[in-house]
């Protein structure tokens, strides 16, 4: 099933967001989207076909002495992709030093990709 949704975690839907989600939209959990029990409001959105991201595991190593697992992945997005958000819903802390050689503090990147796909 192909579908798209506008979603917000805002407790009160402001004027800008109400262009997409009704101000009286019920806040619900989204078990098909996330294991989080945080409630969010949503509305149907137009479906836009985008290329699937390509994810390749480059390195998977474990440092038993420090109880540390390090994953190095390569994520490439198509030309139509505007934003990539990677997250970990587990209890472990996700830390990253670089993405494509550039320092990042979180795992969200929006904007033109070029070589930063």
Measure the CA–CA gap between 19 and 42, rounded to whole angstroms: 12
**pTM of the entire predicted model:** 0.50
- Residue 12: alpha-carbon gap to chain centroid: 22
CA distances 117 to 62, 69, 82, 103, Å, are 26, 24, 10, 15
Phi, psi for residue 116 in degrees, rounded to 5: -90, 15
pLDDT in the model for residue 99: 61
Task: Give the N- to C-terminal CA distance of the chain in Å, as an integer.
Answer: 26
Residue range 42-87, pLDDT digits in tens? 999 998 877 788 888 898 988 888 777 777 888 887 777 777 776 6
């Amino acid at each position: 099933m192909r579908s798209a949704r506008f979603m917000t975690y805002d407790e009160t839907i402001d004027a800008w967001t109400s262009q997409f989600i009704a101000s009286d939209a019920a806040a619900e959990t989204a078990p098909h989207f996330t294991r989080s029990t945080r409630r969010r409001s949503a509305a149907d959105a137009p479906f836009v076909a985008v290329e699937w991201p390509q994810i390749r595991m480059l390195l998977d190593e474990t440092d038993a002495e420090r109880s540390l697992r390090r994953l190095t992945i390569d994520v490439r997005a198509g030309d139509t992709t505007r934003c990539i958000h990677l997250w970990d819903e587990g209890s472990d802390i996700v830390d990253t030093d670089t993405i494509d050689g550039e320092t990042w503090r979180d795992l969200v990147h929006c904007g033109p990709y070029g070589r930063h796909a």
